[in-house]
Amino acid sequence: MATRSLFLLKIITFSSVFLFSSHTYGTTTATWIQTGESESRKGYAQNITIHNAGEIKLSPQTETITGINSAFVWSMTSDGQNRIFVGTGDPGTVYLIKNGTEVIEYFKSPELYIQSLAVDSNGNLYVGTSPRGIIYKINRHGEATLFCNLPAPYIWKMAIDSNSNIFAATGNEGILYRISPDGTPSIFFDTPETHLLDVLIDQHNNVYVGTEPNGLVYKITPSGQAEVMYDASEGEIHCLAIDAMGSIYAGTASGSQSQMPATATTQIPLQTGSTVPPSREGVTWDMNIPEAVSMTQSMSATLQRPVVRSIAVPQKTANVPNIPNFVYKITQNGFVKKVFEIDQAFIIGMSFDQDYNLYVVTANNAGVHKIYNNETSNCLVDMTEEVQILCCLSTNNNEMYIGTGNMGKVYRISPRYVSEGIFTSNVLDTTAVSNWGNISWTGKQPEGTKISLATRSGNCEKPDVTWEDWSDPYISSGERITSRFARFIQYRAVLQTEHAGITPSLDAVSISYLPQNQPPVIVGFTIDKDSALSQKNSKTESKTQVSAGQKPHHQIAQKTIQWEVEDPNSDTVQLTLSYKGTDEKAWKILDKTAQKKGTYTWDTLRLPDGEYHIRLVASDEPDNPPETALSVEEITQPVVIDNSRPVIQSVKLRDNHDGRYVITGTAKDTCSKIIKVQYTIDGQEWISASPLDGLFDSEEEAFQIITKPFAPDNYTLIVNAIDSEGNIGAEKVMVGKE
């Protein structure tokens, strides 16, 4: 039986001396370790079980029980003689499995589906059917009689108390019926729910039911007093189980469009107390054996959708759960704990073995999971060839039987192990051609068992014909890997046993490797100036001037250098930041760091104005000897350093004889472009001046100011010129008459 593994991949690096070949290899050995299950489905397993603690073991022996000729296996139970009864449909037939393998058609009903089965202390078998709600009774001699006919289309589950009363969980009106040993039914508990999907009884005759669509777990005392034990966030409690301490386990099956019949129901108030006679308006209780239901194609098609619900869709992807489903443990004092979680699957059935390990079967993503009594778990069997598992049963000798849908099969899972299982890991990408070291593993090999590993390698991600064949087996942990040097590697573990009662276990596997050294990569390298230029898109001219004027000159002279560097080998990288003028040859160091992503604030206030280059050198020398270390560098385009203010010159004042004045002049800077000229009159708002050539875009710009009309008086006009580096030059002009 094939199953996928649940494995955690993590990379650990450490320093050591390694083999040196004709390729350029560094000295940082990497180790690939696989253990645990956090990274799910990374490898492929055949006849292997993966425990959530990380152990890989041989899977239990699984065999198909042949002779079932129905589309669905809906229910299972066993009697005191360890005989297994199987309820199926369509057609509604009960099969008997004798001696674990022999299948006999035990009872063929006129109904479509045998939805539930139960056996009392006298060995009588009760058969609950759909869609007419009939219960048959078959005595120990195989003689069948009609026991009861309930006014409910679905008898989902039945349970029997110590007084031989039968409790039937039904739908689609959410009624729990109690049927006396003579076949007389009564309404024991009428819920506001649509479906009661499971029912079980504890040693004190308390009754528990799981519901849909509100996901409730009810507890009802023998006198009929009801309470909600748990209200799950999921909408469907599909199955229940009880342990030796009386704790209830509830499995959910929510997260998909419901396949329940869309019949109108009336909300009925919660009924508690003693039972009442089974009377519903318009319902007649027919205690006669019904005529055989026609098994025509039209009838089958009509009933298919309501009966199969969300657990019997014809294709695996038809109703994939969009939320996780859980198993909740609910103690008698009300404490609730999640003990199991699964994605993209419905929890359909649960059953305890003799050691109170809980078996959980799932639909959509069909599998059998085992929750140990210490609440650890594993995927016991991954039924990848099946779509739905619909029921399960654990026997007195700890054998597990499971029934499936769409194919109508029964499988038996024994507590004995297969003789051989194979786990094949996912493919490791070392990012470069690598020199392989040792392969090591930890685990247990009881006498009569064996673990061996093999490797193969190649230079494409998916193994193909270009990959090397599997190596000879490594028998002892710590052997040198013999696969050829390559970028990708994969291992295969073979577990074997000579005794079906014991299995080896593989806990962790590690592969050491040394990738070919590769130079660091400069991902980003930028220089941002902190100047008034970044403010030039402000909404108003006055805000631009105020922002620039308030910024200290030493901040205008600062430039922020940012970098990001990666190393394909995950080596430690030494970064060196340097500068030089465009007419200089020697680089001057600004900073050295091992920080692969960072910033550096360069204060240029003491440097002469001019053009400069900035260089970033990244070297992996800290983790490699000089003869194999590699480096990479990047040099910026010329960066202008301009800490000098523009000069305003040739200012001329002319009276326009209409109260206005015309002021002309020239703004000039040695390194940067003039980007704006502004003026203010007696400290009022700042007003932009006009460039004479229509555009401020050069190091020297002529400008013109035409003032507003003045009343006869004296005025002080301040003119500012701003360059692209945020430097501001100023000049004063006196305007007016004495």
CB atoms within 10 A of CB 121: 10
Closest CA to 121 of 105, 140, 96: 140
Burial 377-408 (b: 16+ CB within 10 A, else e): bbbbbbbeebbbbbbbbbbeeebbbbbbbbeb
Q: Give every CB contact of residue 82 below 8 A, 6+ residues apart in sequence.
A: 395, 396, 397
- Does the pTM surpass 0.75? The reply is no
- Kindly state the DSSP code that residue 478 receives in the 8-state scheme: T
Between CA 434 and CA 439, with CA 436 as vertex, the angle to 5 degrees is 140
Tokens linked to 409: 């099969």
Which residues share a beta bridge with 340?
327
Among 579, 512, 385, residue whose Cα is nearest residue 29: 512
Residue matched to tokens 């910024």:
551
Asked if 409 and 67 count as a contact pair (C-beta separation under 8 A), the reply is: no
- The whole-number pLDDT of residue 81 equals 82
Model pLDDT for residues 72-88, shown as the tens digit of each residue: 999 999 987 888 999 99
Q: How far apart are CA 490 and CA 481, in angstroms?
A: 11
Return d(Cα 588, Cα 578) in angstroms, integer.
5
What is the largest distance, in Å, between two alpha-carbon atoms of the chain?
A: 133
Neighbouring CB atoms inside 10 A of 599's CB total 11
- pLDDT tens sequence across 295-337: 222 222 222 222 323 323 333 334 566 789 999 999 999 899 9
Quote the pLDDT of residue 115: 92
Minimal CA–CA distance to 108: which of 80, 121, 122, 127? 127
In sequence order, the β-bridge partners of residue 220 are: 207, 226
pLDDT value, residue 647: 93
- State the 10-residue block means of pLDDT for the chain, 738 residues long: 34 33 59 69 82 84 88 91 89 88 88 93 93 92 91 94 95 93 94 94 95 95 94 94 94 67 32 35 35 31 29 38 88 92 90 91 87 85 75 89 87 92 92 91 94 95 94 95 94 94 92 88 84 39 42 74 89 93 92 93 88 93 86 91 89 85 91 90 89 89 88 87 89 78
